[in-house]
Amino acid sequence: MPELPEVETTCCGIRPFIEDQRITKITVRNYKLRWPIPTNIADILTGQQIHTVKRRAKYLLFQCDTGTLIIHLGMSGSLRILDSTDNVEKHDHVDIVVDNGYVLRFTDPRRFGAILWTEQPIDQYKLLRHLGPEPLSIDFDADYLSQQSQSRKTSIKTFIMDGRIVVGVGNIYANEALFLAGIHPKTLTGKMSLNQCEKLVSAIKNVLTKAIAAGGTTLKDFRKSDGKPGYFAQQLHVYGRKEKPCSICGTVIQHYQASQRATYFCPNCQRHK
DNA sequence: ACATTGACCTGGGAGC
DNA sequence: TGCTCCCAGGTCAATG
């Protein structure tokens, strides 16, 4: 589910309640996520202080005294701040209680999420080591995208969803960014002009920034840390709009499957070049 | 080295 | 009402 804007929204939402707090209790109700939660996680973390709460790609990173707690929301995960551990529901897998009394609760129906622990420097950790630049950083620009795209042989949509190229762009925002840039999703990366790369980089930064401002996109499961949905779904131009008219030109939005991912585009606004 | 596919899970909606 | 099938925001690991 959550792409960069949803993870960023979560990060900013929980930070004021969690940063600088000490962990007083951890309850794990189900250890089986994408990878098993370390069985000794409560022993390791109880009593440790959380110094910072940060986001890298779609990972949430909690820098503690002796290492980093890593949380990924997978497809259906969310983290909420609660003021008690009451009303535990079916998919509420983990509670982290801190000494101001608040509870950070991890909920994830599909259990594609992950909760891990490492004592390594975080950028050397296996899952983060090969990640590309943050899309909202100055390192992600048209020259970079153009340079990376030359040697590769795949579609531009697959390319911008590859975390080794740029992080945080999932299926929703890949569709939206290509629409905003006027680029057909099947365009081969090697055929991208520098001008197209410029348009695409701006479109990615633009759509992610606006989605963060709206609190992310809630299609189904995503909840902000206060339990409310994000409102960016109202601003989607193509994602999920199969057979509806394009909001710009009225042409019917087309749809196809590409490596098991739904792809949506306007055949008029996004012509093959 | 790169590109593609399968796998991991649950729940909701469509269609019969 | 109930069953079956298909689909969903991610991404690693295995395969070609």
A1 pLDDT above the threshold of 70: no
A273 pLDDT above the threshold of 90: no
The CATH number assigned to the domain holding A252 equals: 1.10.8.50
Do A117 and A8 share a structural domain? yes
Strand B nearby residues, CB < 7 A: A 32, 34, 76, 90-91, 109-112, 151-154, 158, 220, 259-260
Domain range spanning residue A119? 4-124
The CATH number assigned to the domain holding A102 equals: 3.20.190.10
Do A110 and A182 share a structural domain? no
| Predicted model pTM | 0.97
* CA of A150, C1' of C15: distance in angstroms: 25
- Position A25 scores a pLDDT of 98
Do A161 and A76 share a structural domain? no
* Residues near A38 by beta carbon (within 8 Å), at least 6 away in sequence: A44, A116, A117
A2 is catalytic: yes
What is the pLDDT confidence band of residue A85, given thresholds at 50, 70 and 90?
confident
- Position A50 scores a pLDDT of 98
A219 pLDDT above the threshold of 90: no
Task: With respect to residue A225, please indicate whether it lies within any of the assigned structural domains.
Answer: yes
Instruction: Give the Cα separation of A147 and A40 in Å (integer).
Output: 45
- Position A3 scores a pLDDT of 93
Do A45 and A17 share a structural domain? yes
Task: With respect to residue A132, please indicate whether it lies within any of the assigned structural domains.
Answer: no
- Position A63 scores a pLDDT of 98
Of the listed ranges A109-113, A115-119, A179-183, A222-226, the one predicted with least confidence: A222-226
- Whether the CA torsion A122, A17, A114, A40 is positive or negative: it is positive
Task: With respect to residue A272, please indicate whether it lies within any of the assigned structural domains.
Answer: no
Share of residues in chain A with pLDDT > 90 (%): 90
The per-residue pLDDT for range A6-20, each reduced to its tens digit, is 999 999 999 999 999
- Position A260 scores a pLDDT of 83
Do A245 and A173 share a structural domain? yes
Do A56 and A29 share a structural domain? yes
Task: With respect to residue A137, please indicate whether it lies within any of the assigned structural domains.
Answer: no
Task: With respect to residue A133, please indicate whether it lies within any of the assigned structural domains.
Answer: no
Do A160 and A119 share a structural domain? no
* CA of A218, C1' of C6: distance in angstroms: 21
Do A258 and A146 share a structural domain? yes
Task: With respect to residue A136, please indicate whether it lies within any of the assigned structural domains.
Answer: no
Instruction: Give the Cα separation of A86 and A83 in Å (integer).
Output: 9
* CA of A249, C1' of B8: distance in angstroms: 40
A58 is catalytic: yes
Do A110 and A148 share a structural domain? no
- Position A8 scores a pLDDT of 95
Q: For A38-66, what is the mean pLDDT? A: 98
- Position A167 scores a pLDDT of 97
- CA dist A189 → A25, A85, A151, A193, A251 (Å): 49, 49, 8, 9, 25
Do A95 and A18 share a structural domain? yes
Do A190 and A101 share a structural domain? no
Task: With respect to residue A135, please indicate whether it lies within any of the assigned structural domains.
Answer: no
What is the pLDDT confidence band of residue A142, given thresholds at 50, 70 and 90?
very high
Question: What's the total number of domains in chain A?
Answer: 2
A168 pLDDT above the threshold of 70: yes
Q: Which of A124, A157, A189 is the last residue before a domain boundary?
A: A124
